[in-house]
Amino acid sequence: MAEMLEGRKAQFIYELVQQDSTKAKAEKEVNLAIDRLIYYAGWCDKFQQLFSAVNPVASSHFNFSVPEPTGVVAIIAPQSDSLLGLVSVVAPVIAGGNTCVVLAAETKPLCAVTFAEVLNSSDLPGGVVNILTGKPSELASWFVDHMDVNATIYCENNSDTQKTMREKSATNLKRIFFYNNVNWYSEEGQSPYFIMDTQEIKTTWHPVENIAGAGGGY
């Protein structure tokens, strides 16, 4: 995906400039978006090792806990940074094995639409990332109301919307995350902890045989 994005770099810069960015700023945003995809691509097969555990239970059992994707995640992407913001919230969700429905920035949807072409030419399986354009004010409630959505991410600091979203998320106890004032250009804009937000921890137990009272050393 990062390669495909890089291949269309000029187009993304052009679109960002069309939507109120400067050339220098747009170039920086596209470069960071490319790097962010590479960053999360690397995490795909590593975060599990970091956040798993073999638990030393006192009984005669083998017991381990691993992260698993929560399922379908509905994302309302940041309204500013229409490319970098979008990539920064989608990448950790799909790197963790979830699928998502993402609502692009309301007033700056161009990059999101072009990003869909990037996804398509990257051979990302159909349905993993679904991009919608529209108004968050109209669609937010559908994102949190839907009974087949497992988690919702909202990136604006609008406390009224946050309140409504949390209330409605109770219908099926969706996991809900508000990324308030995250600076997507800085280091705080990327970390495996974003991946862990949409993971569940599953713990598995199995007995360990005790042969004729022998200790664990046998």
Partner 1 sequence: MAVTKKKAAAKKSNTIKLKFDTSWSYDPAPESKSAATISKQYDLFINGEWTKPQSGKYFATINPANEEKLSEVAEANEADVNKAVASARNAYEKVWKKMPAKERAKYIFRIARMVQEKARELAIIESLDGGKPIRESRDFDVPTAANHFFYYAGWADKLEYAFPNRRTEPLGVAGQIIPWNFPLLMAAWKIAPAIATGNTVVLKPAETTPLTALKLAEIIQEADLPPGVVNIITGAGATGAAIVNHPDVNKIAFTGSTDVGKIIQRAIAGTNKKVTLELGGKAANIIFEDAPIDQAVEGVINGIFFNQGHVCCAGSRLYVQESVAKEVIRKLKDRLESLIVGDPLDKNTDIGAINSKQQLETIHKYIKIGRQEGAEMYESNCKLPGKGFFCRPTLFTNVAQSNRIAQEEIFGPVLAILTFRTDDEVIEKANNSPYGLSAGVWTDKGSKIFNMTKRMRAGVVWANTFNKFDPTSPFGGYKESGFGREGGLHGLLPYLNLVG
| Contact pattern from residue 126 through residue 155 relative to partner 1, giving x for each residue in contact according to CB under 8 A and a dash for the rest | ------------------------x-----
Q: Kindly tell me which of 21 and 152 has the beta carbon lying closer to partner 1.
A: 152
**DSSP, res 77:** -
Distance CA 48, CA 110 (A): 34
At which residue do the structure tokens 């429905």 appear? 101
Answer yes or no whether residue 28 interacts with partner 1 by CB under 8 A: no
Say if residues 198 and 69 touch (Cβ distance below 8 Å): yes
Tokens of 184: 């997507």
SS3 175: strand
- In this structure, which amino acid lies at residue 206? H
Of these, 63, 99, 130, 133, which contacts partner 1 (CB under 8 A)? 63
Answer yes or no whether residue 48 interacts with partner 1 by CB under 8 A: no
Number of residues interacting with partner 1: please give it, by CB under 8 A: 37
Determine the interface stretch with partner 1 among 16-24, 81-89, 96-104, 166-174 (rule: CB under 8 A): 166-174
Q: Which residues contact 26 (CB under 8 A, 6 or more apart)?
A: 12, 13, 16, 17
Q: Kindly tell me which of 70 and 82 has the beta carbon lying closer to partner 1.
A: 70
Answer yes or no whether residue 205 interacts with partner 1 by CB under 8 A: yes
Task: Tell me the CA distances in angstroms from 150 to 127, 141, 147, 211, one per residue in order.
Answer: 16, 14, 8, 44
Determine the interface stretch with partner 1 among 25-33, 84-92, 96-104, 196-204 (rule: CB under 8 A): 196-204
Q: Minimum CB separation from partner 1 for residue 187, in Å?
A: 8
Answer yes or no whether residue 169 interacts with partner 1 by CB under 8 A: yes
User: Containing H/E element for 54?
Assistant: strand 53-54
Distance CA 18, CA 26 (A): 10
Binding residues for partner 1 (CB under 8 A): 50, 53, 55-59, 61, 63, 65, 70, 150, 159, 162-167, 169-173, 175, 187-188, 191, 193, 200-207
